Structure 1
Amino acid sequence: MQKIILLLALLTFNLSSSQIKKKQVLLIGTFHYANPGLDVAQLNSFSIMSEKSQKELEIMSDKIKKFGPDKIFVEWEFSKQTDLDKFYNKNTDSLFKNNKSEITQLALRTAKKLNHKKLYGMNLYTPFRYDSLMMAMEKANQKDLIQRNKVVTENFEKQHNEKIRKSSLQEMMLYYNTKQSENENIQWYLEVANRGGNPDDFTGASLVANWYKRNLYMYSLIQKLTESTDNKIMILVGAGHAALIREFISHDPTFELVDLATVLK
């Protein structure tokens, strides 16, 4: 009897979910325009302040404005929303000339064109224990895995730096939102990090679990802060976050992903 009730409840839920008007989500994964050098991979900086890039940003933000998100979420600490509000209300021209961050150059630029009152911070920073992972690999004498980690990291650095030399800003942005790029961003965690440590040492798996947890918490904030009156939202995050958030959205019947390429075409 309990099984029948459960099945009926699931059927009712599925039917009601299918009747919900889905909210469109423009998820944009990006490299860091300002490149603070805090990531494991050492990547060259992109000339975001060049005249060409600034023109591209104007065109990109105009096209996103046409898409018309009701809210824009950015990788800013949720607990520091007051600081983000103050930042948003600073002199716009000065910010565009002096702040290289993708939050300023793309998200804020777009939000201002849409006459939004604010940006929404949804980042939840957690320490990334890379040194502990490497120590666990050394302790486990995982020489092949250490070498594989070096190769994967160097290949990523080389690929990114070559693209910087050859590509426009829009080409870079479109690439970082392809399935290939997303797979590469997730691959390291499962191919390398999750294997780190002795059989009774879960340092690697703990790092991966904390990475997934952080992204789930961020996604939880997006879900909670998206109101019933919001028909479209935009999310701007580092490409590594976008790869997981895209996966979460694909299993959430209340949201519908919109491809960046279709917006910028």
Structure 2
Amino acid sequence: MPRLKPLLWMCLMGPLLACASAPAPKPESSESTPDFLGAKEPKPRLMMLGTFHFKDAGLDQYKPQHALDVLSPERQREVEALVEALARFQPTRIAVEVDVPKQAALDARYQDYVAGRAQLTANEVDQVGFRLAKKLGHPKVYAVDADPHQIFNPLFDKVDARQFETADPKWQQRFTQLYAHQDELKTRQPLMEHLRYLNSPELMRQEHGAYSIGIFKEDGEDGYLGADLRSAWYNRNLRIFRNLQRLMSSPDERVLLIIGAGHLPILHFVGGSSPEHEVVDVRDYLRPAFDK
């Protein structure tokens, strides 16, 4: 066999020689951060169920076009299955999207339902919160919603409500298509299947993107009017989380929050970052008992 010319040999073997002569990669540091924050200590658990509003009040920017009769026999069976599934979490307290100052009225409505003096409305607070609380023998459900601080009111006075819908039309149209898809999808999917979809991390990420477009880009006098307006939404959710903290004073607490899915991105971020609490993925429970 003829011998390869030296230059050709070097061309062929060069990469191998380079690999052979290259220094071995340094092993990653085995140094680990000591558990200063007590990650393994017992913590109260928080599970958040993000939902669409069973009976929409028309307060959100997107107005639903598809009605869902949650009081129909078929949907009532689905609600009962949902309550059974959530009961497996064994919550010690159930928190709902009702303003804290309305706690007394919420207590009265719940007691009337438990005593058989009132029927449940179509609202998810009643259909899920009240049903589950009664099933578990809870004496009350807890209002945790809050308004943003009043310091934001002058900012809202500077904009017309129509600006929220007309700013940044390209992205507004795309998000409207997303909301319309969800609105229609809820009428086709079984309830628990739809709630698993609403509570998926990817959908949370997508929906949270709506807060960096539209009115966010309104500059105002100092260049930050839209950003300051959006801060009110973050402030509201931080206040909601503070209300949740008050319910989780003991490691034995297992709090279930029932709230509009739009609140999830901020609440999951704050709750998941908190060293004091453990956030439980609700999707692990959104299955019929035989499918767990």
Per the normalisation by structure 2, the TM-score is: 0.76
Instruction: Give the structure 2 partner of residue 55 of structure 1.
Output: 77
Give the whole-Å Cα distance in 2 for the aligned partners of 1:131 and 1:177.
Answer: 34
Q: Paired residue for 1:100?
A: 122
**Cα offset for 1:16?**
4.7
Q: Which residue of the partner structure matches residue 26 of structure 1?
A: 47
Find the partner of 1:132 among 144, 154, 159.
Answer: 159
- 1:81 aligned partner, one-letter code: Q
Contact 1:136 1:198 in 2 (8 A): no
Residue matched to 1:80:
102
Paired residues for 1:191-230 under 5 Å: 191-198=213-220, 200-228=222-250, 230=252
Q: By percentage of residues, which structure has more helix?
A: 1
**260, 269, 276: which one pairs with 1:247?**
269
Equivalences for residues 135-214 of structure 1 within 5 A? 145-198=167-220, 200-214=222-236
Q: Structure 1 vs Structure 2: percent identity of aligned residues?
A: 25
Q: CA RMSD in A?
A: 2.6
Q: Is the 8 A contact 1:29 1:243 kept in 2?
A: no
The CA distance in 2 between the partners of 1:111 and 1:217, in whole Å, is 24
| Cα distance in structure 1, aligned partners of 2:183 and 2:73 | 20
Runs (5+) with no aligned partner, structure 1: 1-10
Match of 1:42 in 2: 63
Partner amino acid, structure 2, of 1:169: L
Partners of 2:69 and 2:226 lie apart in 1 by 35
Larger radius of gyration: 2
Q: Contact between 2:86 and 2:285, CA under 8 Å: does it hold in 1?
A: yes
Structure 1 stretches of 4+ with a deviation exceeding 3 A read: 92-95, 126-131, 133-138
Q: 1:65 to 1:193 in 2, by over 3 A?
A: same
Task: Measure, in 1, the Cα distance between the counterparts of 2:156 and 2:68.
Answer: 27
How many angstroms apart in 1 are the aligned matches of 2:63 and 2:193? 21
Whichever residue aligns with residue 40 of structure 1, its letter is: Q
Q: Within 2, Cα distance between the matches of 1:225 and 1:117?
A: 14
3-state DSSP of counterpart to 1:33: coil
Q: Distance in 2 between matches of 1:101 and 1:249?
A: 26
Deviations 1:148-187 (A, max 9, x none): 2431342133212320332121122111101122123211
CA contact (8 A) 1:73 1:119 kept: yes
- Which amino acid in structure 1 is aligned with residue 53 of structure 2? H
**TM-score, with structure 1 as normaliser:** 0.83
Instruction: Provide Cα deviations, 1:211-265, integer angstroms capped at 9, x if missing partner.
Output: 0011001101111222216331101111111221011111012222222221123
